A and B are shown apart, each in its own frame.
Chain A
Amino acid sequence: GDSVTQMEGPVTLSEEAFLTINCTYTATGYPSLFWYVQYPGEGLQLLLKATKADDKGSNKGFEATYRKETTSFHLEKGSVQVSDSAVYFCALINAGNMLTFGGGTRLMVKP
């Protein structure tokens, strides 16, 4: 079946550092890929998405490119802020039309 693998956290960075959170997937066909973010005490929110190969999703300074050749969708941000501290989930939707999530990566940004 489909699966999503994320780097384990926590990832601890200083403010203004560069962020990469790795995400790879296993799926048949052509899934759509997503990043969700969960801030403390809140529900998951859709951060960005990409629906086909080579698409780049972007939002709030975060970016991720759908790489079919490496089955990856790594999340990046050039300069993180303390307010970016949260748990980030990579996910996909395939033919079954249901979300499959990765295990989540906690990001902690220190001032």
Chain B
Amino acid sequence: GAVVSQHPSRVICKSGTSVKIECRSLDFQATTMFWYRQFPKQSLMLMATSNEGSKATYEQGVEKDKFLINHASLTLSTLTVTSAHPEDSSFYICSASPGTKSYEQYFGPGTRLTVT
């Protein structure tokens, strides 16, 4: 089946620094990639949707300048958390879709970010 990887799986960074999370579709080309955030015992919240080569579409309440998303190729999207603060600590999950069916998303295993 389709595989999506994320790197790193865990990262700890100091407050004020930036951290980049990579999301790769390993065996298919992803027309669309999605970034989610999951708080403990809560649902996945969609942060943004990105299509290869174009700007990401952010959900309401998500700061574009804080969560920079780049979808430079059909197999790679990156999320950069800039000037991280402890409240940014969370579980970030990406997914990739090869086509137009939104439910046909293949999810990465997630990245645990801890900001100290």
Q: Which residues of A contact B108 (CB under 8 A)?
A: 43
Interface residues as binary, A27-42 with B (CB distance below 8 Å gives 1, 0 otherwise): 0000010101010011
Q: Say yes or no: is A89 at the interface (Cβ < 8 Å to chain B).
A: yes
Within 8 A of A (CB), among B34-54: 41-44, 46, 49
A101 to chain B, nearest CB (A): 4
B42 touches A99 (CB 8 A): no
Q: Say yes or no: is B107 at the interface (Cβ < 8 Å to chain A).
A: yes
A102 touches B43 (CB 8 A): yes
Most buried by B among A38, A43, A93, A99: A43
Q: Say yes or no: is A74 at the interface (Cβ < 8 Å to chain B).
A: no
B103 touches A43 (CB 8 A): no
B106 touches A43 (CB 8 A): yes
Q: Which of B44, B103, B107 contacts A32 (CB 8 A)?
A: B103
B35 to chain A, nearest CB (A): 12
Q: Which of A12-20, A44-52, A60-68 contacts B (4 or more CB under 8 A)?
A: A44-52
A97 to chain B, nearest CB (A): 5
The number of chain B residues with a CB under 8 A from chain A is: 18
A64 to B41, CA, bound (A): 23
A104 to chain B, nearest CB (A): 7
B103 touches A46 (CB 8 A): yes
A43 touches B95 (CB 8 A): yes
A102 to B41, CA, bound (A): 10
Q: Which of A4, A32, A97 contacts B43 (CB 8 A)?
A: A4
B42 touches A41 (CB 8 A): no
Q: Which residues of A contact B4 (CB under 8 A)?
A: 43
Q: Say yes or no: is B109 at the interface (Cβ < 8 Å to chain A).
A: yes
A98 touches B43 (CB 8 A): no
Q: Which residue of B lies closest to A44 (CB)?
A: B107
Q: Say yes or no: is B105 at the interface (Cβ < 8 Å to chain A).
A: yes
Q: List 7 A-B contacts (CB under 8 A).
A: A4-B43, A43-B95, A44-B93, A89-B43, A98-B49, A99-B46, A104-B41
